[in-house]
Amino acid sequence: MVSILSDFFLTTAVDCFSYKGGIKFSMKKTLTSVVTLALLSLSLTGCGNKGKKIHLQLVPSNDPAALMTRAKALAPILDKYAPGYSFSIDVGASYAATTTALAAGQIDGGFLTASGYAQRTIEQPGAVSLLLSAGRAGYKVQADDYKGSDEAAREIQRKHRNGADGYVYRGEQSKTLVNFYCSVVFTLKDSERTALSKPTLDKDGDGEISLAERHDGNAVWGTRGATSSAGYIYPTKYLYDKGYTKGFFDKAAYDKLSDADKKLARINATQKSYPEMVDNLRNGVIDVAVGFFDIRYGSAFVQTDSKYHNDASVFTKTYTAAVLDPIRNDTVCAYGKLEDDKKEAIKKALKGAVQDGSIHDNGIKKGAKGASETDYDLDNDGQPSGAYLLYQIYSHTSYIDGKDSDYDAARDRYRWTNEHAGK
């Protein structure tokens, strides 16, 4: 007993108090020491370790610094909903880095895209475990006004995003939850390109910027990493289906292609984040941007000095060229060999956090116009709610237990990309 408690005291003292010099026990003081150390062990619970530690990681779908700020605020909320566990959250260097780290057990859990999950289940069966599927509030144009995800519905949504029939689009979001999102292709309107001394893309002047016009204009596409669903995989399939079967190449690789192959390929420039992609599109650095349903929204409502500032001009200055096939919502996954109790703790924590100040009650009304964090501070403790943080991180508004078969289509698309991309 004395030996055990002495070891406990030494390790705890070093960790918590930088204790030096060791411990001496006398027979006369042994009982007192034991009692004292036992009481000390209770008082020091959480000093060196506040429960079982769980390390989660975000993929950098948005500005990494902003994600990290929100992640730090989210961690203690997760602790609240999974007593006995202590969460830490950071941001991976890339989509691929997070999926690789998770499969290797370097992190306990990760927020993976459908494609990221599909990739690991194909390449390393059993390396990751699906815990949760995310729900998102849909955009009003897709969830309320022109419902659906088939090709006909997406074409109607595309036209109305561009102002068809007087429809005014500002990225308004709905209370209606959807289990999918779409990759969308954007360009600058020709009037904006002219102001930047960039050549027009609408060659025939019909008000529509076709894929052929984008291609013939030698347009540079902004994409994300090769494991990004909306930012790479689905746009690659879109190009292939339209006859551009060589996929994406960076400028140096593109220049080495034969003239015949250049007609079947596209130039891409990998973007570090979606906000960077939108900025580069608006500044003429790239000609085409691809990403999830509306990557422009984050640019329209830019947070500075703790307030959101509305610059809706990004919607009027850009053109929605295409809305692509639906993509299953994101996942929350765990390391395949993670202890079952930690897997359950992750699920419990996130299900609780996403209902912590639910945006369905007040956030949608204000958030769609750019609310401050205090608008979501429902318990008036000066801190943003879990619902607010998860919404700002990935637009997640709910979590359900994940079903692996829901991602069969993502696996099929990932296999297709490996077979065809860059060939």
- 207 and 241 part of one domain: yes
The confidence score (pLDDT) of residue 41 equals: 38
Instruction: Check residue 370 and give left, alpha or beta (phi > 0: left; psi -120 to 50: alpha).
Output: left
- 176 and 234 part of one domain: yes
- 147 and 274 part of one domain: yes
The confidence score (pLDDT) of residue 37 equals: 37
- 91 and 156 part of one domain: no
Element (H, E) at 221: strand 220-223
Q: How confident is the model at residue 383 (pLDDT cuts 50, 70, 90)?
A: low
Least confidently predicted of 102-106, 186-190, 318-322, 381-385 = 381-385
Per-residue pLDDT tens for 73-116?
A: 999 999 999 999 999 999 999 888 999 999 999 999 999 989 89
Spatial neighbors of 333 by CB under 8 A, at least 6 apart, are: 102, 109, 110, 112, 117, 120, 128, 129, 130, 131, 402
Residue-range definition of the domain harbouring residue 14: 2-43
**Strand bridging mode 331-335 / 180-188:** unpaired
The confidence score (pLDDT) of residue 134 equals: 94
The confidence score (pLDDT) of residue 321 equals: 95
The confidence score (pLDDT) of residue 306 equals: 57
Query: In Å, how far are 83, 347, 353 from 52, measured between CA atoms?
Result: 10, 15, 18
Q: By CB neighbour count within 10 A (0-12 exposed, 13-18 middle, 19+ buried), where does 22 fall?
A: exposed
The confidence score (pLDDT) of residue 133 equals: 96
Residues 300, 110, 290, 151, CA torsion sign: negative
Token pair listed for 348: 């419990």
CATH number reported for the structural domain that contains residue 372 in this entry = 3.40.190.10
The confidence score (pLDDT) of residue 197 equals: 94
Q: Are 332 and 202 in contact (CB under 8 A)?
A: no
For the chain, give the mean pLDDT: 81
Token pair listed for 369: 């116009």
- 200 and 83 part of one domain: no
Q: By CB neighbour count within 10 A (0-12 exposed, 13-18 middle, 19+ buried), where does 86 fall?
A: middle
d(CA 197, CA 332): 44
- 238 and 308 part of one domain: yes
Q: How confident is the model at residue 172 (pLDDT cuts 50, 70, 90)?
A: confident
Who has greater pLDDT, 244 or 367? 244
**Strand bridging mode 247-249 / 307-310:** unpaired
- 257 and 172 part of one domain: yes
Spatial neighbors of 197 by CB under 8 A, at least 6 apart, are: 284
Instruction: Quote the pTM value.
Output: 0.72
- 32 and 82 part of one domain: no
d(CA 237, CA 393): 27
pLDDT over 80 at 54, yes or no = yes
Tokens 């030698």, residue? 218
Q: How confident is the model at residue 361 (pLDDT cuts 50, 70, 90)?
A: very low
Q: How confident is the model at residue 65 (pLDDT cuts 50, 70, 90)?
A: confident
Reported residue count of the chain is 423
- 314 and 340 part of one domain: no
Q: Transcribe 232-288 into DSSP letters.
A: IIHHHHHHHHTT-TTEEE-HHHHHTS-HHHHTTEEEEEE-SSHHHHHHHHHTTS-SE
- 169 and 303 part of one domain: yes
Per-residue pLDDT tens for 388-403?
A: 889 888 888 899 999 9
- 242 and 293 part of one domain: yes
Q: Are 329 and 136 in contact (CB under 8 A)?
A: yes
The confidence score (pLDDT) of residue 382 equals: 56
- 130 and 156 part of one domain: no
Instruction: Outline where DSSP puts E strands in 123-264.
Output: 128-139, 173-178, 180-188, 220-223, 247-249
Query: In Å, how far are 277, 349, 386, 387, 388 from 376, measured between CA atoms?
Result: 28, 19, 9, 8, 6
| 3-state DSSP assignment of residue 362 | coil
Q: Are 411 and 417 in contact (CB under 8 A)?
A: no
Count of domains observed in the chain:
3
The confidence score (pLDDT) of residue 127 equals: 97
Q: How confident is the model at residue 309 (pLDDT cuts 50, 70, 90)?
A: low
Per-residue pLDDT tens for 121-137?
A: 999 999 999 999 999 88
pLDDT over 80 at 358, yes or no = no
Per-residue pLDDT tens for 269-305?
A: 999 888 899 999 999 999 999 998 888 887 777 666 6
The confidence score (pLDDT) of residue 30 equals: 40
Least confidently predicted of 24-33, 61-70, 209-218, 335-344 = 24-33
Q: Which amino acid is at 175?
A: K
